[in-house]
Structure formats: structure tokens, C-alpha cells
Amino acid sequence: MAYLIGIDSSTTATKALLIDGKGRIVAVAATEYEFQTPRPLWSEQDPALWWSGAVASIRQVLAASGIDPAAVAGVGLTGQMHGLVLVDAAGQVLRPSILWNDQRTASQCDEIRARLGKAELIRITGNDALTGFTAPKILWVQENEPEIYARIHKILLPKDYVRYRLTGDFATDRAGAGGTLLVELATRDWSPGVVQALGIRPEWLPPTHEGTQITGVVSATAAEATGLRAGTPVVGGGGDQAAQATGVGAVEEGIVALTLGTSGVVFASVDKPFYEAEGRLHAFPHSLPGKWHLMGVMLSAAGSLRWYRDTLAPGVAYDDLLAPAAAIPPGSDGLFFLPYLTGERTPHPDPLARGAFVGLTVRHGQPHMTRAVLEGVAFGLRDSFELMKSAGLSAIRQVRVSGGGAASPLWRQILADVLDSELVTVNTSEGAALGAALLAGVGAGIWPDGETACRETVRVTGSTLPEATASAVYEKSYRLYRALYPALRGVFSELI
């Protein structure tokens, strides 16, 4: 039997996932590491950590499974998006990677809008300039570290540095490249106009590939380091959210992936280039050929619940914390929670937004506050659904939920009621790494396309249907929730 490996290089760990040719998980390993915040708003990481993490995790899954490395038919890559990796002509990293959650580039985002015009930028790329994207990071290095900028040979994304170490080749996938703000949405390739306007040399950008295309093979040096067979194909893969969507089977219009992790992501696959006119949603190529996606991101989803638990109920198990909240009626008796604990991205791209409890009275107890946190996150996620609908997205027939927060039946029911849509769970929690492995399977010829791979391996395991009475209550509560950020925005800007 053929086997496949998916490698996911995230902000906190690099994971390797080994599956067989039926999509069944054989072994999983993760190697953890830290990132640095050397100055306010900065977030950086040494790319060597991703490679050493990949080496350790690959060796662990090969050892745990006991398979012959020659049976690995392909390797797929995924990982954190938007991070800037600069290498010189010798392939050496020039500086620590500037990560997706780095916030130093507000002035560079303004400069990008000034050079291209906001409307034209969105028309070409599908996106507005945001501090998380790669392009403003490039301009920051140009302005602040000219000696490093002068030595650039290639600009890579985090997973593509792992690709380089695996294969010796410079390449990227089109889903991940979309998150640089340098890709033309319609053509799925680098935009000559944007690249020229920003003064970036075209030769610095690696060739782009579809997520299922082979971009190189494991080199002899990498084979010795990882235990893989030299010559093993490595495919394009995808950014973590595109791979996550593949891993849960969100590859058809009408099926939406909702990831309830530290951050919250709403991901909708579309069959043509599609964007929201104001750039309030991300619009990127999908990891599957001929598909694109819209994506809304809230920065503190399950992270809000973790903050709440750690701050107001330290040491209490989540199940014990949430159980009393089930007895509180929908709407938490008029108590609201704004989940903007780390600023916000969708629909309010505002790093100064703040969290808040609104409506507290003496009749509210901790169970009310707990439920309000769950409901506030659900309302924040609904913001992305509403933007997608207003942009003209076709009807949503199913929402596939994953991530740590999805383990709570109460939270799943609240989400189903707030969204007034069926929520389903699937047969794996290893979405991004599994998606990368499935993409590798298409590249290796095990499945003819990504849609077939998902149909044959991803299965629905549970369903949560909305309750009409609760949905009606939440419809009114959501209207009130949406009024809170505009009312408080001026106050937030003064809370420095």
C-alpha cells in the first residue's frame, strides 16, 4: 500500500501526519517551538525551527508506523501563511521570519494603497492591504533594513522554506501565494502590475504551482536528514486554511468550513474569482486547481474562552465551566461579550478594537458570562457569513466545523442557532496536515482530483441542527451586537 505524508509548519509546532492510500491516519507527530516578540507589535521566528521540527516529526511518524520509506508516494506541505522569509544567493536566511501576526507595517499598508489605489488593489488581488500580509513586510525591510534588502535572492513563505530544505528547489503554491498581496486573483499568479508598483524584483519570487502539482523531489541531503527516500515527490500543498478546508472536505460551493481554534476562520469555496468590494474578506486561490475561496478571520475565537477561563476561573476544566451555561437562556438575559481581545480582522480590520462585557447587572452570574462569551464568538463568526452573503455568495447548505472549540456540544448548538444552519463534524481533527497529505495523494496519482480524494476519505460523523426558537432570539441579539462596535470604536481608539 502507498502512504502519504502531510507536513504542517504552524506558529507553535511542525506536525507530520502519515496516512495510507485510503486516507486513514497511521501516525502523527509534532515538534513544538517558540516565536519571539522582540519589540511591541513584532512577531518573528527562526526558519531553522520549521526545518528541525519537520525532520524530527517525519522521523517520528516513520518510526512509529514501521513502514518502508520507499512506500511513501508523496509529501504535501502546509503551514502558517503570510510570513516573510528572505534568503540570499547561497540559500542562507537573511533575518528572522516576520510572521503573520506581526503588526509593525501599518504605514507600509498605507503606502501600498497610495501607490495602487485601494479599489484597484482589491480589483487585482481581491484584498485590501493588511499588516498580516507579506507585501507590506517586504516594504518594511526595504525601508528599515536596506543592507538586508540588498542581499535578497528569493522571497519565500514559511512552508516554502521547508520545501527548499526538502528539495533544494524554490517554489510556492498558489493558495499560499495569494496571501502575499502580490498575486492577481483571476490569473492565480504573480501580478506584474503590483510587483512593479512595489519595486519588487520579479526574479525574487519563486514559480507558482497548483496545490496538487509536483514541485520537486526529496534530495539526497534531505533524505539522510529525514529518513525519507530520495526522489520522493513533493507537491505544492497550500496555506494552512486552504489545506484545512481540503482536510474537512470544503471543496465545493455551498459547503463552508468553520474553524473554531484560537482564532476563528470561515472559509467558503467558490468556482470562480470572487471578492468582497471593500476587501473586508480575504479572497485567495484555493489549494485545488480551478477553485478560489473567500475567508473571514476573527482573531480571538476559542482564544476568548481560554482567556476567560484562565482569568476568571483558573484551573477549572472547560466541561465544568461550560456545564452551568447550558441552563442560561439564549441571549444570556441581555449580556453581550465583544471578542476583540487582540484587535479584530473581519469585519473590522482594527488592531485597536477591545474586548468588553456589555449589559452586566446584579442578576448576572458567572454562567451568564460564560454563555455570553460563547455567544459573542458565534456572533463574530456570523459577521463573516453575513459579508459573504452580501457579496453574492451562493446559498450555504452545510457548515463543517472543526478546531478545539468544536468539541463542545453547547458551543456547536449556539453556533447552529446563531447561524441558523446545520453544523456537521467530520472524521478527523487533523485538518491542515490531512489536507496536505490528500493533495500529495492527488499529485502521486492515488486520486484523480481533490474532490474525489475528499469524497473517498472525509466522512460526516455528527450533525447539529438549529432550534427555531433560539434562532429567533439570536436574530434580535445579533442586531444589537452589531451596533456595539460602531458605538465603542471611538472609545477604543483612546484606550492606548
Q: Measured between alpha carbons, how far is residue 92 from residues 47, 156, 187, 362 in Å? A: 10, 12, 31, 61
Beta bridge partners of 198: none
Q: How many other CB atoms sit within 10 Å of the CB of residue 407?
A: 15
pLDDT of residue 352: 86
pLDDT digits (tens, 9 = 90+) for 283-325: 999 999 999 999 999 989 999 999 999 999 999 999 999 999 9
pLDDT of residue 226: 98
Of 154, 245, 173, nearest to 212 (Cα)?
Answer: 173
Using the predicted structure, report yes or no on whether residue 23 has a pLDDT greater than 90.
Answer: yes
Q: Tell me the three cell numbers of residue 81.
A: 501563511
Distance CA 85, CA 92 (A): 10
pLDDT of residue 368: 98
Burial of 49 per CB tally in 10 Å (0-12, 13-18, 19+): buried
Of 396, 62, 45, nearest to 232 (Cα)?
Answer: 62
Ordered DSSP codes for 95-143 = SPEEPTT--TTHHHHHHHHHHH-HHHHHHHHSS---TTSHHHHHHHHHH
CATH of domain 249-427+466-496: 3.30.420.40
Of 215, 236, 78, 86, nearest to 156 (Cα)?
Answer: 86
Residue ranges per domain, the chain? Answer: 3-242, 249-427+466-496
Q: Tell me the three cell numbers of residue 40.
A: 511591541
Ramachandran bin of 82, using left for φ above 0, alpha for ψ from -120 to 50, beta for the remaining angles: left
Beta bridge partners of 285: 292
pLDDT digits (tens, 9 = 90+) for 188-227: 999 999 999 999 999 999 999 999 999 999 999 999 999 9
Q: What is the mean pLDDT of residues 47-54?
A: 98
- Classify the C-alpha dihedral 92-96-100-106 as positive or negative: negative
pLDDT of residue 77: 98
Active-site hit among 102, 128, 240, 383: 240
- Band the pLDDT of 180: cuts 50, 70, 90: very high
Query: Average model confidence (pLDDT) for the chain?
Result: 95
Looking only at the bridges linking them, the beta strands covering 233-235 and 44-45 are unpaired
- Three-state DSSP state, 369: helix
pLDDT of residue 312: 96
pLDDT digits (tens, 9 = 90+) for 251-286: 988 899 999 988 899 999 999 998 999 999 999 999
Of 90, 89, 17, 78, nearest to 50 (Cα)?
Answer: 78
Q: What is the mean pLDDT of residues 81-103?
A: 95
pTM above 0.85, yes or no: yes
Q: Tell me the three cell numbers of residue 349.
A: 480590520
- Name the CATH topology of 3-242: Nucleotidyltransferase; domain 5 (3.30.420)
Q: How many other CB atoms sit within 10 Å of the CB of residue 486?
A: 9
Q: How many other CB atoms sit within 10 Å of the CB of residue 443?
A: 26
The letter for the amino acid at 377 is V
pLDDT of residue 191: 98
Reply yes or no on whether 240 is catalytic: yes
Q: Which secondary structure element, helix H or strand E, spans residue 469, and what is its range? A: helix 468-494
pLDDT of residue 331: 98
Give 381's contacts (C-beta < 8 A, 6+ positions apart). 258, 260, 264, 266, 296, 298, 301, 415, 418, 419
Q: Which secondary structure element, helix H or strand E, spans residue 195, and what is its range? A: helix 192-197
Q: Tell me the three cell numbers of residue 435.
A: 489536507
Rg for the chain, CA atoms, rounded: 22
Check residues 142 and 349 and name the one with the higher pLDDT: 142
Distance CA 60, CA 63 (A): 5
448 φ, ψ to 5°? -70, -25
Distance CA 395, CA 270 (A): 11
Across 361-382, b (16+ Cβ under 10 Å) vs e yields eeebeebbbbbbbbbbbbbbbb
Distance CA 438, CA 63 (A): 21
The letter for the amino acid at 330 is P
- Band the pLDDT of 391: cuts 50, 70, 90: confident
Ordered DSSP codes for 34-52 = --B--STT--EE-THHHHH
Using the predicted structure, report yes or no on whether residue 394 has a pLDDT greater than 80.
Answer: no
Across 325-338, b (16+ Cβ under 10 Å) vs e yields beebebbbeebbbb
For residue 246, the Cα-to-chain-centroid distance in whole angstroms is 12
Using the predicted structure, report yes or no on whether residue 481 has a pLDDT greater than 80.
Answer: yes
- Three-state DSSP state, 24: coil
- Three-state DSSP state, 294: strand
Q: What is the mean pLDDT of residues 388-408?
A: 88
- State percent of the chain over pLDDT 70: 100
Distance CA 140, CA 136 (A): 6
Distance CA 158, CA 151 (A): 19
- State percent of the chain over pLDDT 90: 90
